[in-house]
């Protein structure tokens, strides 16, 4: 099988990015390896060796060149990591600081609040002199607001200290802090109207202002001519990528039918914009080279208009490479090489994009089309033109879907079975809708705009009806599919090997599929055996509530102090730990209780304690769980062999501080769940 020449470079670059983000190696090791690789490469370029020596050193040259690209991925990630800067916000933030920042995004309105991203530039300390800083902060402002919202480029002053974005408090929950960290955002602040004000209106940011007003004009035009609120929100989300006004139920409807990609600004949108621009320039007889340059300019303006998403940037970059190489430089092009080159360039610009779901889905879908479209298309050669068009769309959909199946299951835990039929209807309708939306925004004639808006309403209704029809069929999708990262990689390997066997009929690929299936089966058996033998004690963090859980094998016993089920938190944890049998115990009593499980003692102190049990004697150490602001008794704590003190989410900040002071004086281990998340004890 022929592999693109730049594939190894891309893989080495990705490995370097992963090594940095997952802290797998020390930075000094990477610097040393990079220096050796660079010196070796320079020597290989400038020093002539005999032919025999050159041939014998080819494997070393290739290996060290890959190491050089791996080190480059690590170095680029380090350069773009704001936490490594000496003036990073997190290194200088003090209690009760004021801070100044510049608004980076247009306000995004939600039901009860509005959020916008601010780049902090100065800290104003109460005692020390002000100092410059660097760091991005999500600002959430409660509605209503007495003064205007900030615009891009406005300088703002804040009278409330930003807080770090909290990591997941309980096992199995979505890591929102990690997702934001890949975008260089580590802080957030929740504001009342008195906590901030505009210090200086924007004076720069000309391009961002133009794009913002362009978006505002587009939104006003769509909202003026379309009648139904959800049609307005859908059309605007479709052309701009902004889903803030779109009903979440509609988003879920498209996700469950495998057509959510039409709501993400991706290759479909870029291709339609390219066709529109090419048609216009041909109509006005623009010279060929100028037409290419103007088309590229229009495509990149559209990408900036939609927020420079990873999938849109990939599509625009690929079209740019294809047009420049083929039409301007007159160079031969290979599509897969172009795709990989686009990935390398984009990752060099922004390495953390490799963690972006849209980036992964976009590149894998296009890779699937480039690898497997010809195979699917050659399976059937219909003679009727209508069937040819339908089969073309089927071949493209199958090719694109094939490589995103593992990612879809890993991230979204579902797989739509009728994605082919849904996309056969949704893709042509969405292409027409995009053309009509662009025409509506550009149209200066009122009557013509009314007619275009009527057609858009009809198409949007048809799209909603189609996706709703497939969504309402119970067996149209597979739900509750949970796989690990290793199982996802195994699925990718099986798909690659199986398709290679089908296309090339080489038996070694079939053996590879069988070996991979065997490895995945062994991995699944190991996980099942591990879960059967597990013994875990968990104190969950739930604000104002108490919840403990003892887990033995696939059975869990939950102990709560109220009648609330906390089903969403328990479901996430039970999926992670493969729990099949659950028993709930609700105990609303106050005071001190003791449990012994797996020969380990647990003491729970809940609510106001009249008297700590001094008569209680035991030689083995115990875990003390504090709930509902139980006050510490220093004398009792001194004479009891307490191994750790756990403060659950029902304690107030004042009582957490009291326990911190006491535990520090007694040298006791303290675990406040409000700061450290759920307490997990593996036995």
At 464, list the tokens.
């909603």
Structure tokens at 568: 């969403």
Say which DSSP state 355 is in: G
3-class DSSP assignment, residue 148: coil
Peptide bond into 411 cis (omega under 30): no
* Mean per-residue pLDDT over the chain, rounded: 86
Q: What is the mean pLDDT of residues 659-675?
A: 93
Cα separation, 370 vs 538, in Å, equals 48
Asked whether residue 1 carries a pLDDT value surpassing 60, the answer given is: no
Please say if the pLDDT value at position 27 is more than 90. no
Q: What pLDDT, on a 0 to 100 scale, did the predictor assign at position 164?
A: 92
Longest dimension (CA), the chain: 97
pTM: 0.83
Element (H, E) at 392: helix 385-402
Pairing outcome for strands 131-142 and 185-191: parallel
For residues 65 and 71, what is the distance between their CA atoms, to the nearest angstrom? 10
Q: Tell how strand 547-552 and strand 535-539 pair up.
A: antiparallel
Q: What is the pLDDT of residue 42?
A: 78
d(CA 603, CA 157): 48
CA distance 440 to 231: 14
pLDDT digits (tens, 9 = 90+) for 315-328: 888 888 777 766 65
pLDDT confidence of residue 145 = 73
For residue 266, the 8-state DSSP code is S
Cβ atoms within 10 Å, residue 183: 14
The answer to whether 306 touches 312, Cβ cutoff 8 Å, is: yes
Q: What does each C-alpha distance from 504 to 58, 98, 367 come to in angstroms?
A: 29, 66, 18
Cβ–Cβ under 8 Å, residues 103 and 150: yes
- pLDDT computed for residue 328 by the predictor: 59
Residues 6+ apart with CB under 8 A from 198: 147, 148, 150, 154, 155, 156
Per-residue confidence (pLDDT) for residue 492, from 0 to 100? 94
Percentage of the chain beyond pLDDT 90 is 30
**Is the pLDDT reported for residue 275 higher than 70?**
yes
Q: Please name which of 366, 357, 374 lies closest in space to residue 403, comparing C-alpha atoms.
A: 366
Asked if residues 184 and 82 have their Cβ atoms less than 8 Å apart, the reply is yes
CB neighbourhood size of 90 (10 A): 15
Q: What is the mean pLDDT of residues 165-174?
A: 87
Q: Given pLDDT bands bounded at 50, 70 and 90, which one contains residue 476?
A: low
SS (H, E, C) 115-130: EEEEEEEEEECCCCCC
Pairing of strands 185-191, 163-164: antiparallel
Cα distance between the two ends of the chain: 49
Q: Decide if pLDDT at 542 tops 80.
A: yes
pLDDT band at 357 (very low <50, low <70, confident <90, very high): confident
Is the per-residue pLDDT at 355 higher than 80?
A: yes
| Closest by CA position to 363, among listed 371, 307, 423 | 371
Tokens of 439: 């025409």
Phi-psi map region of 601: left, alpha, beta (phi>0 left; psi -120 to 50 alpha) = beta
Distance CA 370, CA 402 (A): 12
Per-residue pLDDT averaged across 609-614, rounded?
78
The answer to whether the beta carbons of residues 523 and 669 sit under 8 Å apart is no
């Amino acid at each position: 099988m022929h592999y693109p020449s730049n594939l190894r470079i891309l893989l080495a670059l990705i490995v370097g990015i992963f090594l940095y983000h997952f802290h797998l190696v020390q930075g000094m090791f990477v610097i040393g390896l990079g220096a050796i690789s660079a010196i070796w490469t320079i020597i290989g370029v400038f020093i002539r060796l005999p032919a025999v020596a050159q041939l014998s050193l080819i494997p070393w040259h290739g290996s060290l060149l890959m190491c050089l690209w791996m080190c480059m991925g690590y170095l680029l990630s380090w350069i773009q990591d704001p936490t490594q800067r000496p003036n990073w916000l997190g290194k200088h933030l003090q209690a009760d600081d004021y801070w100044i920042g510049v608004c980076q995004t247009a306000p995004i309105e939600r039901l009860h609040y509005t959020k916008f991203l601010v780049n902090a530039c100065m800290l104003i300390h109460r005692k020390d002199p002000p100092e410059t800083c660097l760091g991005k902060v999500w600002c959430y402002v409660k509605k209503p607001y007495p003064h205007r919202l900030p615009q891009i480029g406005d300088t703002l002053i804040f009278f409330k200290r930003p807080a770090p974005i909290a990591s997941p408090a309980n096992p199995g929950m979505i890591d929102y802090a990690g997702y934001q960290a890949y975008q260089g955002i580590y802080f957030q602040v929740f504001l009342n109207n008195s906590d901030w004000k505009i210090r200086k209106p924007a004076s720069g940011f000309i391009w961002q202002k133009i794009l913002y007003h362009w978006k505002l004009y587009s939104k006003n035009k769509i909202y003026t001519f379309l009648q139904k609120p959800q049609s307005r929100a859908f059309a605007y989300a479709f052309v701009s990528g902004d889903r803030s006004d779109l009903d979440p139920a509609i988003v879920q409807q498209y996700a469950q039918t495998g057509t959510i990609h039409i709501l993400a600004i991706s290759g479909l949108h870029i291709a339609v914009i390219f066709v529109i621009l090419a048609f216009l320039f041909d109509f006005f007889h623009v010279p060929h080279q100028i037409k290419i340059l103007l088309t590229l300019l229009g495509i990149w303006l559209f990408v900036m208009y939609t927020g420079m998403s990873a999938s849109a940037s990939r599509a625009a970059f690929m079209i740019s490479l294809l047009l420049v190489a083929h039409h301007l430089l007159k160079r031969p092009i290979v599509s897969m090489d172009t795709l990989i080159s686009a990935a390398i360039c984009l990752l060099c610009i922004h390495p953390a994009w490799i963690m972006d779901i849209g980036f992964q889905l976009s590149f894998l879908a296009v890779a699937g089309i480039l690898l497997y479209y010809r195979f699917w298309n050659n399976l059937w050669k219909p003679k009727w033109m209508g069937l040819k068009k339908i089969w073309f769309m089927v071949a493209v959909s199958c090719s694109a879907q094939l490589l995103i199946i593992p990612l879809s299951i890993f991230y979204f835990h579902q797989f739509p079975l009728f994605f082919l039929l849904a996309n056969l209807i949704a893709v042509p309708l969405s292409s027409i809708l995009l053309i009509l939306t662009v025409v509506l925004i550009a149209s200066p004639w009122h009557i013509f705009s009314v007619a275009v808006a009527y057609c858009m309403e009809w198409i949007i209704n048809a799209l909603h009806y189609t996706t709703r029809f497939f969504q309402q069929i119970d067996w149209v999708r597979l739900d509750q599919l949970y796989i690990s990262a290793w199982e996802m990689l195994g699925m990718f390997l099986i798909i690659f090997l199986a398709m290679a066997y089908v296309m090339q009929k080489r038996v070694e690929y079939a053996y590879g599929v069988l070996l991979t299936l065997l490895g995945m089966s062994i991995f699944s058996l190991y996980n099942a055996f591990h879960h059967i033998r597990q013994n875990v004690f968990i104190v969950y963090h739930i604000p104002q509530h108490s919840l403990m859980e003892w887990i033995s094998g696939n059975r869990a016993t939950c102990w709560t102090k109220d009648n609330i089920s906390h089903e969403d938190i328990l479901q996430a944890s039970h999926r992670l730990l493969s729990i099949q049998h659950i028993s709930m115990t609700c105990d609303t009593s106050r005071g001190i209780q003791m449990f012994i499980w797996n020969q380990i003692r647990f003491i729970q102190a809940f609510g106001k304690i009249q008297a700590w049990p001094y008569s209680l004697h035991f030689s083995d150490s115990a875990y003390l769980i504090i709930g509902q602001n139980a006050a510490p008794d220093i004398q009792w704590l001194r004479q009891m062999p307490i191994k750790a003190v756990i403060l659950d989410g029902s304690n107030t900040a004042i009582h957490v501080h009291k326990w911190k002071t006491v535990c520090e004086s007694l040298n006791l281990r303290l675990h406040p769940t409000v700061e450290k998340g759920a307490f997990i004890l593996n036995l």
